[in-house]
Structure 1
Amino acid sequence: MELGVILGDVHSTLSPREHLDGLLRQVEAAQRNGVRYIVMGHHYLYGNLRWLQPIPTLARLAAELDPGVRIGTMVVQVPLFHPVALAEELATLDILTRGQLVVGAGAGYRREEFTAFGVDFEQRFAMMDEALQIVRMLWTQDEVTFHGRFWTLDGVQTHIRPWQDPHPPIWIGALRDSGVRRSARLGDAWPVTPETRTSDMRRMFDVYAKARRKHGLPLVSRHPLRREIVPGATTEDAFRRFESMARDRLLAYARRELVTRDTEALTARFRQVAEKEAIIGTPDECLTQLRDLAAQAPVDPVIVRAQWPDMTSDDVVAYLDDLGRDIVPGLDEIVSIDARSLETHAESEHPTPTGAAR
């Protein structure tokens, strides 16, 4: 099982120089400690917190990549781009990384971002659906004609094709069954959110597999998982560490319209929330939890957040060094269950009756 890091936001009071220097230092420490994926989220107008825009930032980070390390968006808000611009910018980024790009795509969840761009928030899922169809066509065809609800292209000649053939992997984020079906139809994997419980994961993987079969698409072996891994000298130390790192930021997510976050629960019952959403404990306890997870859910890589807004660069590097020393060697030996074996097991438990249509 591989480890990834998602690069986060910082306080806007941090100078641009400090922000960039800290980012480069984090990427160096991550790779030195065995991280194989470096990904970024995507937001606009984030108030007192600063997100660097992912496509230009990842283009800069491409120059720092070790062999075999992939970078990606997780996730880019597709409806806020014209699909031609999105296709060409991502194809360019794939070329600059020599084919090491993963494209995480989503519909967005903050209404104010859509209002600022003059984009109808209520149409965001339909827009994402149409845009991703166009992006795939622009990546795989020499000439594209498309007549949709939101965009029209008539015989346009494509001129930037990705390095990867036919295109970079597309991870499509989703919170509900309808979104998982969309992910199965339009993408190559479903990046599981940190709030998704293991029991729900298994059910939603089944939803994903059924949708793939419906559209005649091959099953996906494993899916990326966003989940914090927080080791400590003792279990209590690990919980204190995670609370100091993440509590205020998770509360901010709840206040910024992320529907999977509950302000009251995070305030009154942070430890209970953390136990459900994160891998926390001594290094041995963390690895035991990861083995249990890998035996139940087809997930790989696991993507953690190393930097939270109140952490210094020294804090971030110390955390990554802990992961590299205490977690990564054991993680390298864990092999997650294959989603196709889950499907085979489900079919053996519930065989299709003779003569029944599949």
Structure 2
Amino acid sequence: MTQFAISLPQAEFDPGAFRAFVTRAEELGFDSAWTQEQVLGSAPRLGPVEVMTYAAACTTTLRLGCAVFVSTLHSPLHLAKSISTLDHLSGGRVEVGIGAGGPSRALSAFGVSRDGLVTRFTEGLALMKAAWTEPEITFQGRFWQVEGLRMEPKPVQKPHPRVWIGGGHPNAVKRAAHLADGFFGAGSSTTEAFAEQVRILREALGGREFPIAKRVYIRVDDDTDRARRHISDDLDKLYGFFGMKGKLAPVAVAGTPEDCIRGLREVEAAGAELIQLNPMSDDAAQLERLAAEVIPAFA
């Protein structure tokens, strides 16, 4: 049966409204709640670790994730420490999504070169796993070298929190099959593109069971045209900074409850076992409508 997750509000922070949102999401039975990472951009976005930490303090069972950390822009040991700390603070409820970052990323602003980016990504993940699992870390890579050092405490979840890899390029999808515990399709991918990614993934898996998820930008409204205009504007605000203004409306599911059910059925048929619903605005009202008018169709 398809599971549903919800996005955590990251644009503006009101402590009471945020607490009410996450406790209500938990009450409604959502599988998990997810953040995004956008350090640079014109749309306001709070940091994912901090948002997840606050959400952890407000809830008891709701799982919490980021889809995705652009891990190439992080020190792997610092990121591993933050995630391990959050796993303790949440009582073992953390999900970890990582991606290498696309061509629109301002890598030089972070002191990162495009040269060797994939190696940086795979090395970083290997070093994070070593920090989470090995009593003594010894690691010799192109970008990082560690000799006989320790990181404690280890995460609550063993051997470590579940790692999802996100990405649209066929090579990124194959890396997920070989290096991660799950694949997370991007919200900026159409359902058709996601279906092709799932085909490549399953071929690489060779029959292995593997969790598959997708972020879906969604807007439910009694007026289909109004829903599409609204989510198109929201997408432009989020992605316009990256030169994608006016290009992303086709990735969203928007319209009446029936329209949304139909669009999500297509995502489900394409291979998603976990669908992360991302309303983008009017979060509390959309949460209620999605839970009452859309999700019951999948019971």
Percentage identity across aligned positions? 26
Q: Distance in 1 between matches of 2:234 and 2:220?
A: 19
Conservation of the 8 A alpha-carbon contact between 1:41 and 1:74: yes
Q: Once the 2 structures are TM-superposed, how far is the Cα of residue 292 of structure 1 from its aligned partner? A: 4.5
List 4+ stretches of structure 1 deviating above 6 A.
none
TM-score by length of 1: 0.75
> Cα distance 1:143–1:279, how it changes in 2: closer, same or farther (>3 A)?
same
What residue number does 2:112 align with? Answer: 119
How far the C-alpha of 1:264 sits from its partner, in A, is 5.0
Equivalent of residue 171 in structure 1, options 161, 164, 173: 164
Paired with 1:166 and 1:128, the residues of 2 have a C-alpha distance of 20
Q: 1:121 to 1:65 in 2, by over 3 A?
A: farther
Q: What aligned pairs does 1:29-40 form with structure 2 within 5 A after superposition?
A: 29-40=24-35
SS in structure 2 at match of 1:225: strand
Contact in 1 for aligned 2:10/2:35 (Cα 8 Å): no
Name the structure 2 match of 1:323: 290
Q: Hey, what's the Cα distance between the residues in 1 that align with 2:113 and 2:17?
A: 36
Matches within 5 A, 1:1-358: 1-10=2-11, 18-47=13-42, 49-67=43-61, 69-109=62-102, 110-112=104-106, 114-213=107-206, 219-233=208-222, 237-244=223-230, 246-257=231-242, 261=244, 263-265=245-247, 270=249, 273=250, 277-294=251-268, 296-308=269-281, 315-331=282-298, 333=299
One-letter code of the match for 2:18? Answer: L
**What letter is aligned with 1:43?**
Q
What does residue 354 of structure 1 align with?
A: none
C-alpha displacement at 1:4, in angstroms?
1.3
Q: What CA deviation, in whole Å up to 9, does each residue of 1:9-64 have, x standing for no partner?
A: 42xxx6xxx544443333234334332211111122434x3322111221121111
Aligned-pair CA distance for 1:227: 1.1
Structure 2 spans left out of the alignment, 5+ residues? none
Count of residue correspondences: 297
- Residues 66, 307 of structure 1: CA spacing in aligned structure 2 closer, same or farther, 3 A cutoff? farther
Distance 1:324 1:205 in 2: 26
TM-score by length of 2: 0.88
Q: CA RMSD in A?
A: 2.4
Q: CA contact under 8 A between 1:188 and 1:220: conserved in structure 2?
A: no
Q: Is the 8 A contact 1:230 1:238 kept in 2?
A: no
Tell me: CA distance 1:198–1:41, structure 2 relative to 1, closer, same or farther (3 Å).
closer
> Deviation digits for residues 50-108 of structure 1, max 9, x if unmatched?
322111221121111242x2101111121222111111211111111111110011122
Q: Which residue of 2 aligns with 1:353?
A: none
CA distance in 1, matches of 2:54, 2:23: 13
Task: Report if aligned partners of 1:102, 1:170 keep a CA contact under 8 Å in 2.
Answer: yes
1:316 partner amino acid: D
SS of 1:171 mapped into structure 2? strand
One-letter identity of the residue aligned with 2:225: F
> Residue 227 of structure 1: SS of its match in structure 2?
strand
